[in-house]
Structure 1
């Protein structure tokens, strides 16, 4: 069931202008999320998930990482794919995914990190968040955001990726 949201969804990703999952990517984990819709995608960070009721839809996250990257230039680091798995097969669906891109050549910080979210339930809407990082911590959030709660709109995300040579 979860396989269809990985490589098998690449044609849809390409149609939306998203980077596909290629052979040099690895599926690191598939994690059952807590019933309250927690956002952790790493097995060590997940609290008890036994609170799901028998026929309740369950929420999962796949964590993919790029295994062949050149860290001296901008690169696509990881992808998290959130999906619903249901006893009622017709309710199985992809919800959204996050792509993380790193620019190690940015200033004034040690590096810039762009997190792009794609909301599949809303016709593939794309938003982004750009952070200036040093030692793994946010230094400065770019303040040129639109009115969306998700940060940048699709056009700004595409502009950033083009500037980094990743689009």
Structure 2
């Protein structure tokens, strides 16, 4: 039963604990869905180049030494709910670290998680565009969304 008191929704808690828990779970799920929607509206496809927008585990080009990276990335997605730590890829340029990170991002988005992929250089350009413009989004909007998402993947090319 939903009531409106002073213009705000009021949800009286039911007497039965099982119904009460179900109502609380539904509220948590609704709040999480709203949070995910806000984050995804801001980042849309993430801050990635066109090539990474097509990245997947299926089109990952394995090279010598990248087999474990692919295996770990797939396992990370499969067991995401159980993870208590992040994942960090490192290695020489051109081995597919960004491709694997983008693949993780795409897989988790499909599973309903608020995943944000950031290319650091593109992020800095996006943040810069918010200064002195009539942009509807602020630099803080981008930072807050990155801080509140369930998983943040990033790519940074070091020169």
Is the pair's TM-score, using the shorter chain for normalization, greater than 0.5?
Answer: no
The structure whose RCO (Cα within 8 Å, separation 6+) is larger is 2
TM-score, with structure 1 as normaliser: 0.24
| Rg larger for | 2
